[in-house]
Structure 1
Amino acid sequence: MRPSQPDGQSDTTGNGHTGVRDRRAALADAAVVAIAELLGVAPAAVSTRTPFAELGLSSTQLARLTAQLEDAMGVEVSLEAVYDHPDIEQLAEFLAMR
């Protein structure tokens, strides 16, 4: 039996990537919420494809972001990873694959 997806549909690919997709989505959601809090804006105002610098995050805020993601998701997030993967989509993809 294939694993179920959150919407109740089965993973028709049969390749077991549902867990990675779910993890990536959870990481992206956690990053959106954390960045919204850091910037004092609504989560809907945070684009997942806009580079962190263009969102207006300072280096201090990026360091706080790593700590918040570590707390929220239980994964180690280095500041180097944030600079190497400069938007939410890229960072979530990288973290989900680890």
Structure 2
Amino acid sequence: MQSTDSLRELNAKLLTKIAELRKENDEIPELKEKLLRFAEVEAENVKLKQIIEENARCDSENAKLKSRTQNGEEAMPVVMVPTVDVPDFVIDKLNNEVG
């Protein structure tokens, strides 16, 4: 049978261990909260990366379309149309025929 002193020593060690475990248990909710927040941030990062990739695709497509538009504008001839003075009665007659 163990002596009283050795039992007291064992009891003190066990009480110390219990205190350590209680401290660890108190930290668990904080760690769970941090882990949840980390997961939320990671999910947001994934969404943002997808948005960045989509923006890059759109930017590339826009650049191609701008280039095509500029090329089309350069290929179009400039047409000069002279101004013609048309009397009001002619315009009225044309409007009556159409409308």
Q: Is the structural similarity TM-score above 0.5?
A: no
Q: Bigger radius of gyration, 1 or 2?
A: 2
TM-score, normalised by the number of residues in structure 1:
0.27
More helix per residue? 2
TM-score, normalised by the number of residues in structure 2:
0.26
